[in-house]
Amino acid sequence: MADDILKAFGISARQSGVSTGKHWLEAGGEDIVSVSPVDNKTIATVRSADRSNYDAVIAVAQEAFKEWRQWPAPRRGDIVRQIGEALRAHKEQLGRLVSYEMGKSLQEGYGEVQEMIDICDFAVGLSRQLYGLSMHSERPGHRMYEQWHPLGITAIISAFNFPVAVWSWNSMLAWVCGNVCIWKPSEKTPVTALACQRIVETVFAANNVPEGVCCLVTGGRETGEWMANDHRVPLVSATGSTRMGKSVGAAVGARLGRSLLELGGNNAIIVSKDADLDMTLIGAVFGAVGTAGQRCTSTRRLIIHESVYDAFTAKLVKAYAQLRIGNPLDEKNHVGPLIDKDAVNAYLNTIAQVKEQGGSFLVEGGVLEGAGYESGCYVKPCIAAVENTYAIVQHETFAPILYVMKYQTLTEAIAMQNDVPQGLSSAIMTLNLREAEQFLSAAGSDCGIANVNIGTSGAEIGGAFGGEKETGGGRESGSDSWKAYMRRQTNTINYSDKLPLAQGIKFDL
């Protein structure tokens, strides 16, 4: 399995994880061993960057930016179009690699690559729509307008749960905007990054793209700290835990740089008495167990009207009994493994805390053992009846643990949903128009994403993706998220033969 995938992308079982987009440098850092949570087998060993490697990549990227920013945006867009075509050609292989290295189901692996293809298509159109505004001047014979220019180096720190898609959200937009990118992938999923780097390098070489536009620097926390503290990097886009995001944000802010943070979620679905319960079941179960609960948009909490609580939780329990847990490359399975043993320990610790704090389980959890579960990373999705005020419920655990609780009024339900530190994704299931509009109003959900009659998980690339509060406030992907990768410039042109001052100020000589 692993050998076939590595061969398809020209990846060695042991190789450097540092690339300038044209040359793979001799990495001087520590080895990162990628082990699949599916079967506990080693996929490849990747040598990480040391500080000299990092500085060398930065220098190449700085030089590349001087040329790349002058390429017309539609020409840059055509390069991204070709990347999309290359991803289409490699969708099956790359999707399998994503599934095998990260552990998500094969369908989700394919879906992640499709998301990359979709953002390429979006970015191609965007390359002809980097619009500025034209404004009327108060001074005669003057014209005012604003335009957008690229920032320079965009550093991308991605997480293991979407090892390639979130990188593409950032890089494709950054490239059409005229930036160059340096990617630090998660040390838990470095091989998928190597594969993407190989794909992009082939496209770039065929189009004589300057070396340094697409760079890869594998490493751990220290590498991310280099990026966060580097004044040569105007924008750091980081996806991960709230703890990590606070560290990155503080470091970048201290040097007055820009950060784009996509952090934790503690997402809830409100299940109204007027909900279509059958439809709600699909959204709730996929949201809770998809990617084994390791999405930032995973459904963590169900806030259920007391009148339908018993009926809906009975449906949930029955649905959970039908879940198939196992090798994610087998398309019959719904749920794959957690990423590693640390994630398993966090899952078990959370279950213990739920019990200590007074919760009870409608569906018990536990670690699966026996044939097919030798990696020790397969766990049972579980359902716990809790109160929203429990300390553990306020915390995000990256695992398939679903909390259920009751409410009486919609105002109470919205308050419960908002009463957590995170603010990423939210949803209400209702056929009542008034409830839907109240949920979407300024007095409703405080999250960056608020849905009606769909779950919290599975955002499309056309809309801006991101959240509020401890989720970081960043926006990636669609809408006008491209503005995060550019600097705004206001221009005034005087085409008259006089120099009047604004605000009617007189300054005669």
Element (H, E) at 494: strand 486-494
Tokens 């992938």 correspond to 185
- Note the maximum CA span of the chain: 91
Q: For the packed helices 190-206 and 91-102, what is the interaxial angle rounded to 10 degrees?
A: 160
DSSP code, position 295: S
At 294, list the tokens: 């390791």
At 437, list the tokens: 């509009």
Within its chain, how far is the Cα of 332 from the centroid?
Answer: 26
Distance CA 293, CA 382 (A): 11
Within its chain, how far is the Cα of 76 from the centroid?
Answer: 23
Element (H, E) at 417: helix 410-418
Q: Which of 108, 115, 262, 470 is catalytic?
A: 262
262 belongs to the catalytic site:
yes
Residues with Cβ within 8 Å of residue 301, at least 6 apart in sequence: 266, 267, 268, 269, 388, 393, 402, 403, 404, 405, 417
Can you count the helices (H) and strands (E) in the chain?
14, 23
Decide if 269 contacts 297 (C-beta within 8 A).
Answer: no
Give the N- to C-terminal CA distance of the chain in Å, as an integer. 81
Element (H, E) at 142: strand 142-150
Element (H, E) at 181: strand 180-184
Residues forming beta bridges with residue 195, ordered by sequence position: none
Residues with Cβ within 8 Å of residue 221, at least 6 apart in sequence: none
Q: Which residues are catalytic?
A: 262
